[in-house]
Amino acid sequence: MSRRSDLLRYLGARLALVPLMLWLIASLVFLLLRVAPGDPIDAILGPKAPAAARAALRAQLGLDQPLPVQYGHFLADLLHGNLGVSQASKEPVLTIIQGSLPASLELGLVALLIAAVLGLAVGFSGIARPEGRIDLAGRLFGIGTYALPPFWAAMVVQLVFAVWLGWLPVGGRLPATVLPPEGTGFFLLDSLRAGNLQQLQGALRHLVLPASTLGLLLSGIFTNALRLNLRRALGSDYVEAARSRGLSETRVVLRHALPNALLPVLTITGITVASLIGGALLIEVTYSWPGIAARLQEAIAQRDYPLVQGIVVVVAALVVLVTVAVDLLVALLDPRVRF
């Protein structure tokens, strides 16, 4: 009972901070965008539009108003759940986010699955002979994949598998000849729900390279985390105690050492998920993946203030929520955690 109420109090305190964090982030982004050099009018009209046309557009976008007034409007809209309208495309920001975020999440989740399976398998493979050949190979794999420059790795994978071998498409989310499935924006899910095999195949083929590349790049984190924690756990007292009770080594590893070694990995997974919500910019750009990170990059280049603000606020909110959820999960699983 006491632990449960502690947990609820902890959850309440964390959630109570969310609005404050979002306000701080939103205000900071609002301010930084206005301080940064560059004018949205130049991005929309080009540098040579007549002064009258520039002034008219500035007034139309509300950029001629004093900064505090603009800030007031922004906050008032935000409180009402209105993220505004993109200056460049005149589309509601929420609609744009709804179109881009599922793409990033789909890529991120599949990549995370690949990273976890690959990384944990490699991390686990060296425990038989610490400092042996396989352990050394696993270490090198962990360090190497972590250190690989994402842009370079993505381009090499793209060149080999898409351009030279021609096995898979170079980019995009679906073949040009296939229309996107309707629904949630998660194409794998939507095409499965619709029972459309062509859409499913197309979505899978387009997902394989970016997700594998991202998964490979992330797998090193899991490899290193599991390897280090497993070795630490295997040397701990409770493992020795289990061995002394005559349990088989397999049982010792799988039932006693591994679960404890996986707890820190869970935290790392949470952090990785949080980072993937904002998209993997270099992967999205290289593979022309229409995700939220690529959209944010374009919005920044166009100085599309409402779109940048909207994306940052939504992504920040999701990151905060995921972080809280992971913290709670760890607290639930690990009785040693105190609040």
Stretch that binds another protein, among 5-13, 32-40, 70-78, 263-271 (CB under 8 A): 32-40
Q: Which of 72, 89, 28 is nearest to 295 (CA)?
A: 89
Neighbour tally for 172: CB within 10 Å:
14
Distance CA 146, CA 53 (A): 50
Residue owning tokens 């790795």: 153
Shorter beta-carbon distance to another protein: residue 49 or 328: 49
φ and ψ of 92, to 5 deg: -60, 135
Residue owning tokens 């690989």: 148
Among 70, 125, 267, 323, binds another protein (CB under 8 A): 125
Among 27, 82, 89, 323, binds another protein (CB under 8 A): 89
Distance CA 203, CA 112 (A): 17
Shorter beta-carbon distance to another protein: residue 138 or 310: 138
Q: Please report whether residue 198 would count as binding another protein according to CB under 8 A.
A: yes
Shorter beta-carbon distance to another protein: residue 175 or 327: 175
Interacting residues of 133 by C-beta distance below 8 A, sequence separation 6+: none
Q: Please report whether residue 165 would count as binding another protein according to CB under 8 A.
A: yes
For the chain, the farthest-separated pair of C-alpha atoms sits apart, in whole angstroms, at: 87
Stretch that binds another protein, among 19-27, 61-69, 113-121, 331-339 (CB under 8 A): 113-121
Shorter beta-carbon distance to another protein: residue 90 or 336: 90
* Angle, helix 292-301 to helix 93-125, in steps of 10 degrees: 130
Residues in contact with another protein, shown as a per-residue x/- string from 49 to 68 under the rule CB under 8 A: xxxxx---x-----------
Among 303, 311, 320, 326, binds another protein (CB under 8 A): 303
Distance CA 130, CA 233 (A): 13
Q: Please report whether residue 92 would count as binding another protein according to CB under 8 A.
A: no
| Interacting positions 220-279 with another protein (CB under 8 A) | 248-250, 253-254
